[in-house]
């Protein structure tokens, strides 16, 4: 008999943790009601159908899309930084690369060196970023209090976000970051690796 928006109701609210399965639960309840012969007397709605939450859920979905786009831009910038750093490293180490080639190092081994450098940079930044994210989540309430005190009002309106922000760590997202970041770093390191493998030792050593 509890209504989230405070309006009187004679219905029954079903609460569960996994909101992604809301349609599955709705269909299961409808089947049970149909089997019991009471389906015509009940209207089954999900939280997405409530009048008070429709606009709010649309806003949350828009915010999520916006944050995903921002994250994508950040990833592109990070990959470009890795490419720039490795290209500078290749240009700075031309002489050393030429010496290695003249000593018998293959093009693949030279390219592998800079590819591993890209993966190492990505893995290190991934571990550092994940650690900072976990640290932020564990002290989220203090961070919100600090932001509120700096602004002079609540940083997050309790009417929309509740008294506390969710600070549960998503292990699926963490696993995705730990896998995707080294792969993206490897992809970003391919361009400098190919550039390094195409250096001709004779021309480089003659110019030196």
pLDDT digits (tens, 9 = 90+) for 94-104: 778 778 777 88
What is the model's pLDDT at position 205? 61
Strand, helix or coil at 161?
helix
Structure tokens belonging to residue 139: 């002290």
**Which residues, 6+ apart, have CB-to-CB distance to 143 below 8 Å?**
136
Segment among 3-7, 136-140, 200-204 with least mean pLDDT: 3-7
Counted residue by residue, the chain has a size of 208
Stronger pLDDT, 74 or 192, i.e. the higher one: 74
Structure tokens belonging to residue 136: 């932020």
Neighbours of 114 (CB within 10 A): 24
What is the model's pLDDT at position 5? 57
Mean pLDDT of 111-134: 84
Q: How confident is the model at residue 191 (pLDDT cuts 50, 70, 90)?
A: confident
Mean pLDDT of 19-37: 89
pLDDT tens sequence across 147-180: 778 877 776 766 666 667 777 777 888 888 888 8
Q: Which residue has the tokens 């940083």?
A: 155
Strand, helix or coil at 188?
helix
For residue 41, pLDDT over 80 is answered with yes
Cβ-based burial of 192 (10 A; exposed 0-12, middle 13-18, buried ≥19): buried
Scanning 93-170, the segments in alpha helix (DSSP H) are 94-102, 107-138, 140-151, 158-161
Mean pLDDT of 108-113: 81
Neighbours of 82 (CB within 10 A): 24
Of the segments 37-46, 100-109, 151-160, which one has the largest average pLDDT value?
Answer: 37-46
Indicate the angle between helix axes 140-151 and 107-138, nearest 10 degrees: 70
For residue 185, pLDDT over 60 is answered with yes
Contact in structure between 97 and 193 (CB atoms under 8 Å): no
Q: Which long-range contacts (CB under 8 A, 24 or more apart) does 144-153 make?
A: none
């Amino acid at each position: 008999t509890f209504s989230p928006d405070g309006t009187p109701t004679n219905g029954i609210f079903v609460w569960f943790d996994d909101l992604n399965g809301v349609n599955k639960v709705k269909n299961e309840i409808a089947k049970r009601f149909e089997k019991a012969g009471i389906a015509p007397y009940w209207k089954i709605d999900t939280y997405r159908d409530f009048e008070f939450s429709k606009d709010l859920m649309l806003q949350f979905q828009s915010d999520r899309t916006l944050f995903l786009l921002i994250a994508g831009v950040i990833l592109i910038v990070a990959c470009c930084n890795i490419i720039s750093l490795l290209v500078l490293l290749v240009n700075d180490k031309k002489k050393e690369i030429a010496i290695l080639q003249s000593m018998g190092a293959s093009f693949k081994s030279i390219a592998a060196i800079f590819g591993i450098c890209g993966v190492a940079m990505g893995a290190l930044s991934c571990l550092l970023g994940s650690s900072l994210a976990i640290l932020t989540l564990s002290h989220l309430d203090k961070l919100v209090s600090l932001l509120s005190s700096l602004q002079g009002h609540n940083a997050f309106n309790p009417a929309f976000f509740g008294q506390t922000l969710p600070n549960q760590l998503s292990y699926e997202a963490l696993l995705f970051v730990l896998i995707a970041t080294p792969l993206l770093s490897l992809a970003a390191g391919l361009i400098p690796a190919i550039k390094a493998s195409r250096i001709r030792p004779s021309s480089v050593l003659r110019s030196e």
